[in-house]
Amino acid sequence: MNLHYGLQFFKATHFGQVYNVVQDNPVSAHHVFDRLLDMGVIADYVSIDEWKSRLVKKAQDENDYILNVIAQSLGDLELYLKNKSIYDCSRFERALSANDLQQPVIDSEYFMKMHRPSDG
């Protein structure tokens, strides 16, 4: 199937519908950060509370207004940072299947492809 035609059909047929497009079996954040540590992309990772504390201190030390606004708004966002919900994607998967489209598998290997240093 022509992908462009498939997307047009998909949009027309399923317009106005709500779909969860995250995977049912997501990679855990700890696994991702462990891989980043193994690759040397990061030196360490800390708890959300420690991260927030460091962010607030950096914003104050550098008198960075924008960073301070972000740091102050974290209280409102903390629920989302700790949310461990897994969403049902079955409607989205049925719509993709009906249109001969496939969602890429987002696993640790896919993530590593996105974060490998470029060859040139």
Condensed to tens digits (0 to 9), the pLDDT of residues 37-92 reads 988 888 988 887 888 889 889 999 999 999 888 888 887 777 776 766 667 777 77
Query: Looking at the structure, do residues 66 and 92 belong to the same domain, yes or no?
Result: no
Q: Is residue 59 part of a domain?
A: yes
Provide the CA 65 distance to its chain's centre, in angstroms: 26
Rounded mean pLDDT, 5-29: 61
Q: What six digits make up the tokens of 28?
A: 């855990």
pLDDT at 64: 93
Domain membership of residue 95 as a residue range: 1-26+86-109
Cβ partners under 8 Å of residue 26, min gap 6: 86, 106
Segment holding 39, helix H or strand E? helix 29-39
- Greatest distance between any 2 Cα atoms in the chain: 56
Query: Looking at the structure, do residues 75 and 49 belong to the same domain, yes or no?
Result: yes
Query: Looking at the structure, do residues 50 and 21 belong to the same domain, yes or no?
Result: no
Length of the chain: 120
| The amino acid at 31 | H
**pTM greater than 0.75:** no
Provide the number of structural domains found in the chain.
2
Query: Looking at the structure, do residues 33 and 17 belong to the same domain, yes or no?
Result: no
Query: Looking at the structure, do residues 38 and 73 belong to the same domain, yes or no?
Result: yes
Query: Looking at the structure, do residues 78 and 48 belong to the same domain, yes or no?
Result: yes
